[in-house]
Amino acid sequence: MNIHLAKARGFCMGVERSIGMAKEARARLDGDITILNEIVHNHSVVKNLEDQGIGRTNSIENVKNGTLIVSAHGVAPKVIENAKCRGLNVIDSTCPLVTVLHKAADYYIKRNYTVIVFGDENHDEMKGVKGHDPQKIIVLNRIDTLFDLPEIEGKVAFISQSTQSMERFEKAAELVETKYKDVQIKNTICDATRQRQASILDLAPRMDLIIVVGSQTSANSQRLAQIAQQAGTTAYLIDNAAEVKDWWLKDVKNLGITAGASTPDWVVMEVVEMIEKLASENGNGQVSVIDEKDEE
């Protein structure tokens, strides 16, 4: 069996930056340090920071003192103001590419647009963006609900969650242009997401099975699994090596592995080791690991 590791996979710049800021704060500062929401949506990363004495909360109301770290997904500007008013030392680790989305929303609102953001309304990133102006920002969860959106007088801007599927965004943008008259389209999907999606699109059709390593709460990991499935290849999203099932490997000759932008490399390597072990027990033949990063 050949295990192919996707060319673009795993940690992105924004995730590395956030985790680095949290660790640096712990090394430098005394007192409580609390992350608002999950620093990134990966259980191994969250647990690792908790083990280093960094707490976590879903509300600033629970933080009485010390340092509050804003996660890579960002928050509404008002949340940061409130935290500062409460006397907290705020470290904002919002990914700069999420900030691009905030700035785009802000730019259009100030110019009297209604902003439609294509993303998951329950995701921290979308809650933060919507917080700029809940009356003027509409979150579109799914393409098939577009025609349920209200009629809008005046200008409309259509932007995207940073981890949205490129293909779906383009399809949705076409439909938005048919529903509304005066529309500005700005694709705010980040480069890391584009690269990981392009890699899985290239890899999936050549594979018998795809395993995406990432937490169920990770929007970009979920999209990688969806893209592989749309390409016609069975795909499973798993959090860690313990979730690999030996029956998945039956008759598999080429297995592709990718990882969401919040998945550490060591978790991916544990999955590879588990597959090697199960493959040798199940008679899948000799296992070769091909890292497509090395095949430039």
- The site map against ligand SF4 for 185-204 (x = CB under 6 A) is -----x-xx-----------
- The site map against ligand SF4 for 247-276 (x = CB under 6 A) is --------------x---------------
With CB under 6 A as the contact rule, which of the stretches 43-51, 91-99, 272-280, 287-295 interacts with ligand SF4?
Answer: 91-99
Nearer to ligand SF4, 115 or 275 (CB): 115
- Interface with ligand SF4, residue 98, by CB under 6 A: yes
Q: What are the residues facing 254 on neighbouring strands? A: 2
Nearer to ligand SF4, 237 or 255 (CB): 237
- Interface with ligand SF4, residue 46, by CB under 6 A: no
Catalytic residues: 125
- Interface with ligand SF4, residue 72, by CB under 6 A: yes
With CB under 6 A as the contact rule, which of the stretches 21-29, 95-103, 148-156, 167-175 interacts with ligand SF4?
Answer: 95-103
Taking the CA atoms of 236, 229, 223 and 264 in sequence, report the sign of the dihedral they define.
Answer: positive
Residues 6+ apart with CB under 8 A from 98: 14, 72, 73, 74, 125, 128, 162, 190
Binding residues vs ligand SF4 (CB under 6 A): 12-15, 72, 95, 97-98, 162-163, 190, 192-193, 220, 261
